[in-house]
Amino acid sequence: MPRGGARGGGAGLGQAAPPSGWQAGCSLTPAASPSLPAAGQTDTQSLCGQHGTFDQATCGCVCQPGWGGPTCAEPQCPGGCGGRGECVAGRCVCPPGFAGARCQTPVCADDCNDQGRCQAGRCLCFPGYSGPACETPDCPGDCHGRGRCQGGRCLCRPGYAGPDCGTRACPADCSGHGRCLKNGVCACHRGYAGPDCSQPASARLGHVLRALGAGPRPGIQRHRPSPAGPAPRAPHHPERPHP
């Protein structure tokens, strides 16, 4: 008898019933199963098909590895699919999260979206990505705590700017007339001035001069001396004493 095979059936205690047509002692009843060999024949190979051998001692089939059933005609799955999958036509149909011939290998969701490495069913994401399946792009510097990360881009709070919200924002973005420096100060283009570069330079200069008292004030005119100089004074004659 071959060793290592699966028993397809037998008449002993705890064994499956023998193929139809067999009685106790492995005797045949041809009327009950016309397809079986007639009484007295010794060819029993057809009972166990091409994947098993008939064992008269147990009155059953001993199946080859990978086959089972009373006549060794049912494909079997290796290891019973590890208790995680379903055996269909000799192949394991694994549930989500497992793969392999016996459903023994944990797999990662969406294969980590090609942005990480799967290890024991968990994604180890590459720098710049996060999430259970490495599906979420990270923001640079995590927005430095000054904004919200959305789709890999920082939405900065008022007063901050830059890809990572690491730069102080300039007032009114310098009104389009200057360059915002990292400290949040506008470097205005020529001809513009003010904290937000919104004032023409001439108006700004007049404002500064008025603040310093060096320029004309609105509504006040300054009198300039005539080109001829100051008006001549009347001659002074001292009084003479009376005789």
Q: What is the dihedral of CA 220, 225, 227, 233, to 10 degrees?
A: 150
Q: How confident is the model at residue 222 (pLDDT cuts 50, 70, 90)?
A: very low
Give the pLDDT score at 172: 87
* pLDDT above 70: percentage of residues in the chain: 65
Place of tokens 């003479």: 240
Q: pLDDT of 119-177, one tens digit each? A: 888 999 999 899 999 999 999 888 988 999 988 899 999 888 888 998 888 988 899 99
Give the pLDDT score at 73: 87
139-169 is a CATH 2.10.25 domain: yes
Give the pLDDT score at 233: 64
Q: pLDDT of 97-112, one tens digit each? A: 888 888 888 889 888 9
Q: pLDDT of 22-32, one tens digit each? A: 544 565 444 34
Q: pLDDT of 229-240, one tens digit each? A: 555 566 666 666
Q: Are 163 and 173 in contact (CB under 8 A)?
A: no
170-211 is a CATH 1.10.1740 domain: no
Q: How confident is the model at residue 205 (pLDDT cuts 50, 70, 90)?
A: low
Question: Does pTM surpass 0.75?
Answer: no
User: Residue 19 above 70 pLDDT?
Assistant: no
Q: Residues with Cβ < 8 Å from 164, sequence gap 6 or more?
A: 139, 140, 141, 143, 144, 154
Q: CB count, 10 Å around CB of 218?
A: 6
What are the residue boundaries of the structural domains of the chain, listed by start? 6-36+43-75, 139-169, 170-211
| Paired strand residues for 75 | 67
Cα radius of gyration rounded to whole Å, the chain: 51
